C-alpha cells in the first residue's frame, strides 16, 4: 500500500497558484468543500493579493488539494487547507505544508484555528508538530476551536 501511495505522489505537482487558476480552484472548492463558504471575491483576493499565498497540488490537471495562507512578516496563518477526500492520508497536505516552508524560508511561525471536533485535522497538525496554544470559545456556530502554532 505504501508503495502505491509513493507512486501516486510521484504524479502530483505542487505549485503556487495565481489568478489564472481561479476557475479550477473555485470549481474544486465548490465541488468538495462547499461547507466552507468562500465567495468569488474572496478567491480573487487570495489569488491576486501579495499578502496571501495559495499553493495547490495537481494530479493530471485536476486539483487534489490546496492551502491558502495570510503572510504577515515572518508569520503565516493558515486560512484553508483542503485535500480531496479520495486522496486523504497519502501525504498531500504534508507536501503542501513542506512546499510553503521551503517557498518562504524566512517564516518563523505558522498558526491556525481549527474546530475542536475536527479530529482528523487536529491529528494532522499534531503530526506536523503544531501545538495547541489556547481555546477560542464560540469560534463558529457556537463551536469552540483550538488555536495551534508551529515554530520553525
Ligand atoms: C486535514 C487534511 C488537510 C489532511 O490532509 P491529508 O493529505 O490527508 O494529510 P497527510 O496525508 O499529509 O497526513 C496524514 C496524517 O494526518 C493525520 N490524519 C489525517 N487524517 C486522519 C484521520 N482521518 N484519522 C487519523 N489521523 C489522520 C495522521 O497523522 C496521518 O498520518 P498517518 O496516515 O501516517 O496516520 C484533510 O483531512 C482534509 O482536507 N480535511 C478536510 C478539510 C479540513 O478539515 N481542513 C483543515 C481545517 S483547519
- pLDDT at position 4 is 66
The protein residue with its alpha carbon nearest to ligand 1, atom 42, reads 82
Please tell me the predicted confidence (pLDDT) of residue 61: 77
Q: Tell me how far apart the alpha carbons of residues 120 and 123 are, in angstroms, rounded to a whole number.
A: 5
Cα–Cα distances in angstroms (integers) from residue 64 to residues 20, 71, 133, 151, in the given order? 17, 23, 30, 27
Residue 130's pLDDT is 98
All three cell numbers of 51, joined, read 499578502
Check if 91 has its Cβ closer than 6 Å to any atom of ligand 1: yes
Q: Identify the pLDDT of residue 35.
A: 82
The pLDDT score that the predictor gives to residue 5 is 65
Report how far ligand 1's centroid is from the alpha carbon of 54 (Å): 19
Q: Is the CB of 100 under 6 A from ligand 1?
A: no
C-alpha cell at 23: 476557475
76: exposed, middle or buried (Cβ count in 10 Å: 0-12, 13-18, 19+): buried
Which of 119, 148, 121 has its CA nearest to residue 136?
A: 148
**19 DSSP assignment:** G
Query: How many Cβ atoms are within 10 Å of 12's Cβ, its own excluded?
Result: 18
Encode pLDDT of 99-132 as tens digits: 999 999 999 999 999 999 999 999 999 999 999 9
pLDDT for position 110: 98
Atom of ligand 1 nearest to the CA of 36: 42
Q: Which pLDDT score is estimated for 66?
A: 96
Regions of the chain where pLDDT drops below 50: none
Q: Which of 67, 119, 124 to mutate to test the pocket of ligand 1 (most atoms within 8 A of CB)?
A: 124
- Indicate the SS3 state at residue 152: coil
Q: How far apart are the first and last CA of the chain?
A: 31
CA 66 to the chain's CA centroid: 5
Instruction: Provide the grid cell at 126.
Output: 499534531
Domain boundaries, the chain: 2-107, 112-152
- Residue 64 is predicted with a pLDDT of 95
69 lines ligand 1 (CB under 6 A): no
Q: Which CATH superfamily is domain 2-107 in?
A: Gcn5-related N-acetyltransferase (GNAT) (3.40.630.30)
Quick check: CB of 124 below 6 Å from ligand 1?
Answer: yes
Amino acid at each position: 500500500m505504501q508503495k502505491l501511495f509513493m507512486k501516486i505522489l510521484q504524479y502530483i505537482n505542487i505549485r503556487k497558484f495565481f489568478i489564472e487558476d481561479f476557475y479550477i480552484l473555485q470549481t474544486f472548492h465548490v465541488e468538495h468543500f462547499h461547507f466552507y463558504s468562500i465567495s468569488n471575491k474572496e478567491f480573487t483576493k487570495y489569488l491576486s493579493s501579495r499578502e496571501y499565498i495559495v499553493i495547490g497540488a495537481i494530479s493530471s490537471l485536476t486539483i487534489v488539494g490546496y492551502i491558502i495562507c495570510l503572510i504577515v512578516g515572518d508569520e503565516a496563518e493558515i486560512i484553508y487547507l483542503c485535500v480531496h477526500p479520495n486522496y486523504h492520508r497519502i501525504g498531500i497536505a504534508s507536501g503542501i505544508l513542506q512546499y510553503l516552508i521551503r517557498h518562504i524560508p524566512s517564516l518563523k511561525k505558522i498558526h491556525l484555528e481549527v474546530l475542536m471536533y475536527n479530529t482528523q485535522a487536529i491529528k494532522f497538525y499534531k503530526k506536523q508538530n503544531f501545538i495547541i496554544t489556547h481555546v477560542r470559545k464560540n469560534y463558529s456556530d457556537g463551536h469552540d476551536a483550538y488555536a495551534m502554532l508551529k515554530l520553525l
